Amino acid sequence: LGPDAQLSGARAAGLAELCAARGAHDDALTWIERALARGPSTAARARIEARRATWLARVGRHEEALEVWADLAGAAPSELSAEACT
């Protein structure tokens, strides 16, 4: 993707952070998924996915959060503690 798509992804990630700061985690997840769809760099993708996992846990989507954290850790979901999601 070109610079315009990356800038658009950065804006979407910024809007996600604003929503999360206001406690609107469902909206934050919508924006963070848009940021991910715009193909961020590898380093940015890891940061964005980590935020996504945190927000998934906050809205009670623990299984999904665990899967994201496992992917980031390079582990199977069963290798991580479920308490990490709370």
pLDDT tens-digit readout, 18-44: 999 999 999 999 999 999 998 777 878
Report whether 59 contacts 29 (CB < 8 A).
yes
Q: Name the 3-class secondary structure at 23.
A: coil
Report whether 35 contacts 14 (CB < 8 A).
no
Q: What pLDDT, in 10s, does the model give residues 39-68?
A: 777 878 888 999 999 999 999 999 999 999
Q: So what's the pLDDT on residue 80? A: 54
Q: Where are the strands (E) in 1-86, listed by range?
A: none
- Percent with pLDDT over 70 in the chain: 78
- Percent with pLDDT over 90 in the chain: 55
